[in-house]
Amino acid sequence: MSSLFPALTGASAGRPALRFGDRSLTYAELAAATGALAGRLAGHDRVAVWATPELETAVAVVAALEAGVAAVPLNPKSGEKELGHILNDSAPTLVLVAPGTELPSPVRDLELVEVDVHGTGSAPGSEAPADGPALVVYTSGTTGPPKGAVIPRRAVATTLDALADAWQWTDEDVLVHGLPLFHVHGLVLGVLGPLRRGGSVRHLGRFTTEGVARELNDGATMLFGVPTMYHRIAQDLPEQPESAKALGRARLLVSGSAALPVHDHERIAAATGRRVIERYGMTETLMNTSVRADGEARAGTVGVPLPGVELRLVEEDGTVVTAYDGETVGEIQVRGPNLFTEYLNRPDATAAAFTADGWFRTGDVAVRDPDGYVRIVGRMATDLIKSGGYKIGAGEIENALLEHPGVREAAVTGEPDADLGERIVAWIVPADPQSPPGGRELADHVARRLAPHKRPRVVRYLDALPRNDMGKIMKRALPS
Ligand code: MCA
Ligand code: AMP
């Protein structure tokens, strides 16, 4: 029996597992397809997955997990520089793709294996160890290229079981979402979650309010989204009374990856009669806290620690906060079986991420209400930007901008944005003040090298960047 996905070998054979557009697989079909592919993958160490929002991505990742092989999901929109870094760092031995996919260099140089979603076979019988790697997911830091968080099989299993407890998530649930499949939210929670429960997922390919409403009217019970998606739903509902009714029918509306503004919470509650609940997680920790299905859905909070997760708040001087007063602020530190094991090839970064007594430093700053509800109030690093639910490091974009011949100096900041949460702003000192590079050109430059979601949405030109006596850029002194 599969330890991560019991339903693959259980009594669920004829039940629907996955649906992407008009293509779907039952558990029996999924078991056959992943079994065949797992046989092909056995003996490999790490494989890449070209993570388009398609059936093939789900089959590829489940097959790798069944084979005990670590999967590295790749953003199909990543630019050459970002892909080059991830492939160099993770060194996959092959890449799994949907048939007919045109791959850009440098992925083209890998051995390519097309995923057959109608394949038949059975997975190798041996079980991989619980602390073995399941996924390597790349996540941005404040400076330098993204780091590969190695997520063990144990973390995937425990986080999904903790969420099942918090959300009363069962095999009766049908999840709808339109999240990308190369991050934890869309892949681990949004695909592996329903499959671990023996329930099903319907992926929209692309998020729209209408698509969500259609599925909720047709038997879906839960919705997962980032705040930008809920913001867009809140904007659409006044003109879409039918969508409001459909959302009102959902058993659970869950938001995460960034804070959902209270205004959007309230607009959705007013239009649908249902409250969105928030959960809080990170690539490195999977899920830490959540509002429980049977708890109070209080806007502006991320609920209580999940079963098995130890959470503490620590002040800047190292004092552990003991107060539950809704006021005393500290960094969230966590411990538990939900954590990653390391940043791949980065022992320095791994060591820096933990305290001496083994707590992971999240960098998120919070207070705790008297009943234990956690309220995130900020982030320690101003150089981390959350835009559309994506974590984006300012340093990475600055480096890309500095590679443009028209840029002499560059600084990147995040600015509040009603739709994206934060938007990326590039402050540029042009090489030639008479003909500065255009905003569109710089956005395309970053999108081509890194990824479209990392492109600056606003470009501002300066004669010089504000610097302190040591020559360090003072971002707080940039004109707002
Ligand atoms: C625009 N596009 C471009 C360019 N400009 N492409 C190339 N070059 C350019 N210069 C394309 C974009 O790729 C996109 O394509 C389309 O134009 C629209 O772009 P944009 O406005 O940026 O995007 P959007 O469609 O408005 O996206 C909003 C979104 C998205 C759907 C909310 O931001 C999103 O999917 N966010 C989810 C992030 C996420 O899952 N985070 C989880 C990580 P196309 O439309 O074809 O894509 S956090 C996590 O995992 C932790 C554990 C947690 O707690 O959850
Ligand atoms: P990532 O590394 O992309 O997985 O993003 C993790 C970060 O997203 C966390 O450190 C938080 O800053 C943020 N985050 C995730 N969920 C929430 C939430 N519900 N509310 C506020 N911030 C969140």
Strand boundaries in 79-235, DSSP class E:
94-97, 111-114, 133-139, 147-152, 174-177, 200-203, 222-225
Check if the beta carbon of residue 36 is closer than 8 Å to that of residue 116: yes
Mutation test residue for ligand 2: of 386, 396, 420, the one with most atoms within 8 Å of CB: 386
pLDDT reported for residue 12: 82
Return d(Cα 261, Cα 128) in angstroms, integer: 41
280 C-alpha to ligand 2 centroid (Å): 6
Q: Measuring CA to CA, which residue among 304, 44, 45 is closest to residue 162?
A: 304
CB contact set of 324 (below 8 Å; sequence gap of 6+): 368, 369, 370, 371, 372
CA distance 132 to 45: 11
**CB neighbours of 387 closer than 8 A, spacing ≥ 6?**
414, 417, 420, 421, 422, 423, 424, 453
Q: Residue 338 carries which DSSP code?
A: T
pLDDT in tens, 422-458: 999 999 999 999 999 999 999 999 999 999 999 999 9
Query: Tell me, what's the pLDDT at 134?
Result: 98
Atom of ligand 1 nearest to the CA of 180: 40
What was the pLDDT predicted at 2?
Answer: 82
Q: What is the mean pLDDT of residues 344-371?
A: 97
Tell me the C-alpha distance between 309 and 180, whole Å.
26
Identify the band that residue 13 occupies on the pLDDT scale cut at 50, 70 and 90.
confident
Whose CA is closest to 334, among 294, 288, 393?
288
What pLDDT score does 466 carry? 95
Domains observed in the chain: 6-186 (3.40.50.12780), 388-477 (3.30.300.30)
Mutational pocket test of ligand 2: of 279, 333, 391, 422, the residue with most ligand atoms within 8 Å of the beta carbon: 391
Measure the CA–CA gap between 7 and 371, rounded to whole angstroms: 37
Q: Can you tell me the mean pLDDT for 402-409?
A: 98
Q: Whose CA is nearest to atom 12 of ligand 2?
A: 364
Q: What is the mean pLDDT of residues 152-173?
A: 98
CA–centroid distance, residue 325 to ligand 1 (Å): 37
Average pLDDT for the chain: 96
Closest approach atom of ligand 1 to CA 178: 35
Strands 147-152 vs 342-343: parallel, antiparallel or unpaired: antiparallel
Task: Say if strands 421-430 and 458-461 run parallel, antiparallel, or are unpaired.
Answer: parallel
Tell whether the model's pLDDT for residue 11 goes beyond 90.
Answer: no
410 pairs with which residues across the strands?
Answer: 428
Identify which ligand lies nearest to the alpha carbon of 180. Answer: 1
State the maximum Cα–Cα separation within the chain, in Å, rounded to a whole number.
71
Mean pLDDT confidence for 345-353:
98
| Rounded average pLDDT over 381-398 | 96
User: pTM, whole model, 2 decimals?
Assistant: 0.97
Beta-bridge mates of residue 50: 74
Position 1 scores a pLDDT of 66
- Alpha helix locations (H) across 273-359? 347-353
pLDDT digits (tens, 9 = 90+) for 100-158: 999 998 999 999 999 999 999 988 777 899 999 999 999 999 999 999 999 999 999 99
Among the atoms of ligand 1, which is closest to the Cα of residue 232? 32
The alpha carbon dihedral of 120, 124, 128, 133 has a sign of negative
What single-letter DSSP state applies at residue 124? -
Tell me how far the alpha carbon of residue 163 lies from the centroid of ligand 1, in angstroms: 25
Protein residues whose CB sits closer than 6 Å to any atom of ligand 1? 77, 179-180, 183-186, 207, 226, 228-229, 256-257, 281-283, 388-390, 443-444, 447, 452-453, 455
Instruction: Give, in order, the Cα–Cα distances in Å from 448 to each of 2, 77, 425, 453.
Output: 40, 9, 17, 11
CA 214–ligand 1 middle distance (angstroms): 22
Locate the ligand 1 atom nearest the alpha carbon of residue 282 and give its number: 52
Query: Strand (E) positions, 122-276?
Result: 133-139, 147-152, 174-177, 200-203, 222-225, 252-255
Which among 160, 204, 228 is the best mutation to test ligand 1's pocket, defined by most ligand atoms within 8 Å of the CB? 228
**Mean pLDDT value of segment 210-228:** 98
The torsion angles phi and psi of 428, rounded to 5 degrees, stand at: -125, 130
How far does the centroid of ligand 1 lie from the alpha carbon of residue 206, in Å?
10
Instruction: Work out the percent of the chain whose per-residue pLDDT is above 70.
Output: 100
